[in-house]
A and B are shown apart, each in its own frame.
Chain A
Amino acid sequence: MDSTKLSRQLAREEFLARAGELKGLRKMIRHQLTNEGCEHAFVERMVLAITEACMNIIQHGYGTENTGSFWVEILSDGDELTFLLTDSAPKIDIATLQSRALDDIRPGGLGVYFIKELMDRVEYLENEEGSNVLQMTKRMA
C-alpha cells in the first residue's frame, strides 16, 4: 500500500476458526469488493486467496482446538487493497506451509501456492499484542 495515500477500512469482522464460517467470510468479501467496483473475476480470485489463508489459520494454526477466532480486515487506498488476517493461534512454522511443486500431482499443498500466485505481496507479521498478522496486498483490477 502506498504510504502517502490514505486508506479506508472497508470491513473488519471476526470469524470463528471453523470450516463452517468460510461461506459467510466469502459472502462478506464478495460484497465489499463488488461495492468497491472490482470486477467479478478479480473478486473471485481474492475470495480464493483469502479463503485459503483462513483455511491455514483454521487447520494449521488452531488445528483441532477449534475454539479460536480470527479477524479479517480489508483496507483500500483506491488503487490497492490490503487484507489483514489476525489470529492468536500458536505460531506456525511457515516452512511447513510451503506449496508443493505443481508437477507433483498429489492431494494438498496448493493453498500457499494459490495465495502467492493471486496476491502481489504476502507478509507474515506480528502485532503489538503478539498476535499473528498475515498481510496480503493486491493492486485493484
Chain B
Amino acid sequence: MEFTTTSKGNCSIIALIGEIDLQTSPPAREQMLDALKKKYHLMVDMSAVEYIDSSGIASLVEGFQFAKTHNLTFGLVNISQATRQVLELARLDRIFLLFESLDEGLAAIKE
C-alpha cells in the first residue's frame, strides 16, 4: 500500500493506493489522524484501493469519529468497487460521507 498526501486550503487529501490490510492499515491510520490533529478537514481518495478489510475499515471509522468530535469534515471520494462492497457489507456506506469527486467533497466542507 502506498499513499500520497496533498492539500487544498484547509483540507488535506490523502490518496490510498493498493491493499489496505492488517499490515498496511496502521500507517494509513497514522497519516489520516495526523492530518485531522492539525485541524485539517480530510478527504480520502479511495479510487485506487484494490482491497480493504476490517482493519482498514477500523482506521476509517477512527478518522471519521475523530473528525466528528472535532467538528471537521471527513469524506471518502471516488471509492473503488472493492471499497464500496466492503462498506456496504458493514453498512457504513450510510454513515460515511461519500463523494463522487474531490470537487464535490471540497464543496461540502462546512467552515
Contacts and interface: CB of A to CB of B under 8 A. Distances in A.
Interface string A107-136: 110110110011000000000000000000
Interface stretch (A31-39, A46-54, A77-85): A46-54
B23 A22 contact: yes
A59 B61 CA distance: 19
A55 B54 contact: yes
Contacts of A58: 22
Contacts of A19: 21-23
A26 interface: yes
Nearest to B96: A105
A5 interface: no
B22 A102 contact: no
Interface residues of A, number: 26
A73 interface: no
Interface residues of B, number: 23
Contacts of B51: 26, 44, 47-48
B71 interface: no
B101 interface: no
Contact of B61 (A26, A52, A107): A107
Nearest to B92: A105
Interface string B76-110: 00000010011001111001000000000000000
A106 B61 contact: yes
A23 B23 contact: yes
Given A20-B23, A117-B89, A110 B82 contact: no
Nearest to B68: A105
8 contacts: A22-B23, A45-B85, A47-B51, A51-B21, A59-B22, A106-B61, A106-B65, A108-B58
